[in-house]
């Protein structure tokens, strides 16, 4: 998955926005005001996604290309390599899971806004 495909996929979810809150190379995707994925578009060698803590550990153990996210909560965030070692369909599944996890933690009112 190249950076353009990554961007297009993230923006396909309802109420998603993109920004560069940290610097000019780290692209962040949020649903309403909550982050669900980010990547350094300059080096673009991995993307960060939020994950259920138990599933995060399982994925790290099962896939060589999944590691705890650098500069993020190691409990809730994984980095997924985008070097071809993990299929695009799995990466998309994990991005979607991240989006849905973030939405599920929102108030019912915000969830209704999204729908």
What count of residues does the chain have? Answer: 115
How would residue 70 be classed by pLDDT, with cut points 50, 70 and 90?
A: confident
How would residue 43 be classed by pLDDT, with cut points 50, 70 and 90?
A: very high
Instruction: State what percent of residues in the chain have pLDDT above 90.
Output: 94
Burial class for 81, CB neighbours closer than 10 Å (0-12, 13-18, 19+): middle
Cβ atoms of 66 and 55 within 8 Å: the answer is no
Q: Which helix (H) or strand (E) holds 67?
A: strand 66-68
Q: What is the CA radius of gyration of the chain?
A: 13
pLDDT attached to residue 71 = 84
Please indicate whether residue 95 or residue 71 has the higher confidence score (pLDDT). Answer: 95
Coil, strand or helix at 92: helix
| Domains of the chain with CATH codes | 3-108 (3.90.1150.30)
pTM of the model: 0.94
30 DSSP assignment: E
């Amino acid at each position: 998955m190249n950076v353009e495909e990554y961007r297009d996929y993230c923006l396909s979810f309802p109420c998603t926005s993109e920004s560069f809150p940290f610097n000019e190379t780290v692209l962040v995707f949020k649903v309403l005001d909550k982050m669900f994925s980010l990547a350094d578009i300059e080096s673009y060698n991995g993307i960060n996604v939020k994950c259920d803590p138990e599933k995060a550990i399982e994925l790290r153990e099962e896939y060589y290309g999944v590691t705890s996210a650098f500069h993020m909560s190691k409990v809730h965030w994984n980095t997924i390599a985008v070097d071809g070692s993990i299929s695009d369909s799995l990466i998309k599944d994990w991005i979607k899971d991240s989006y849905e996890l973030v939405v599920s933690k929102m108030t019912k009112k915000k969830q209704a806004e999204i729908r």
